[in-house]
Amino acid sequence: MGVVRDPTVFLTGFPGFLGSALLERLLSRGDGPVACLVQPKYADVARERAREIAANVRGTESESVGRIGSDDDADAVETVSDDGDADAIRLVEGDITDPDLGLGDDRDALDAVTELYHLAAVYDLGVERDLAEAVNVRGTEHVLALAESLDVDRFHYVSTCYVSGRYDGVFTADHLREGQSFNNHYEETKYRAEVAVQERMAEGFPATIYRPAIVVGDSETGETEKFDGPYNLLQLILAQPRLLSATFTLPNSADAELNVVPRDFVVDAIAHISARGDAVGEVYQLCDPAPLSVPAFVDALADATDHRTVRLPTTMGIATAATNALDRLGIESDPHTFPYLDHPTRYACPNTTRALAGSDVSVPPFESYVDRLVAFAREHPDIRDEPMI
């Protein structure tokens, strides 16, 4: 039996799309053991994914995955990893919407935690207000309370560039409270959650904030777990004849940018920046410094699908109403995507560029991997846009 150490890293948002990839990066660089907060309904998925990640990191199927707080020995795999440590990944059942995260007696097993990564959130443009409030705002407050009680050395919070709302101009890491309006409850509640983190940062709390732009699949494999956002444009094109497919364009689309980044860039950037001591107290926008305009983005999708497209000029109201007709034709389309086709905000990330200088982490051009996103979407038509809640 190997040496069983208490977890030193705590992660929320597992087994989600970003959380799963980040867990693998953290273990690969030698962090941990890592305790992952998992909702009970996702326990089986989390256990299987943890085994896969552990095997990938150490290159062996005998890697260790433990479960804190289980009285059922069948629920825990207590084998020894090749570096002599047992239980590199601990799965802790709980929920950030509970004031104590639902940890109960398991809270005592986290006393050695010095670093906390908070990724759990409702990533859904159409989320209802009450759910967004419970998860994104109060959930973040609950995780902050845990981090403060643990007196962690580092708190890493994954926000979003779209705390900007519909800010008219260039939005940087120095911007936050700008009197902006918001496209939806997701943006507004992520904004309020970041305000809570920044208020504590101003008091000396050792936090780092990461603001990804619109996250799509992996740039190497195209893999994703959810078709939403830009994927609605892709699905609209794929559902139509190859020789003539129609897309919408709004009056201000030509001047709008669609800032998209692949999952691997976001995770690699967080892993790299989180290892820097000088990142404490900083905000980093993980965006594309040279994004495509909305028309150019649609053209890139059309080229990758080999569809001849025509853009139909329309208004927001007509485009939204048209989704009902599309649904009757069996073509899925999400009206919550349309406000991003004339989004007035542009994003800048000079401090992120400086922090990543000298590393091998950079944003690949969308045109360099869009064909992989399209191939994955075609190969996995059953993936839907439901968030992990």
Instruction: Answer yes or no: is pLDDT of 324 > 80.
Output: no
Supply the pLDDT for residue 67. 57
Q: What is the mean pLDDT of the segment spanning 184-210?
A: 98
The confidence score (pLDDT) of residue 60 equals 47
Is 232 inside any structural domain?
A: no
Average pLDDT, integer, range 344-349 = 98
Q: Is the pLDDT of residue 82 over 50?
A: no
pLDDT recorded at residue 4: 72
User: Which pTM does this prediction carry?
Assistant: 0.92
Q: Is the pLDDT of residue 353 over 70?
A: yes
Query: Quick one: average pLDDT of 72-88?
Result: 43
Domain that holds residue 200: 3-217+259-286
Q: Please list, in sequence order, all residues whose beta carbon lies within 8 angstroms of the beta carbon of residue 108, skipping any fewer than 6 positions away.
A: none
Q: At what angle do helices 263-274 and 17-28 cross, to 10 degrees?
A: 40
How confident is the model at residue 78, as a pLDDT? 30
What tokens appear for 165 in the block?
A: 């709302």
* Position 354 in a domain: no
pLDDT at residue 2 tops 90: no
Mean pLDDT (the chain) is 90
pLDDT (average), residues 56-72: 58
Does residue 301 register a pLDDT over 90? yes
What's the structural domain count of the chain?
Answer: 1
What would the pLDDT profile of 159-170 be if each residue is shown by its tens digit?
A: 999 999 999 999
pLDDT at 164: 98
Residue 108 maps to a domain: yes
Is 235 a member of any domain? no
Bigger pLDDT: 322 vs 61: 322
Q: Looking at residue 386, what is its pLDDT?
A: 66
For residue 114, the domain's CATH number is 3.40.50.720
Does residue 76 lie in a domain region? Answer: yes
Look at residue 371 and tell me if it is in a domain.
Answer: no
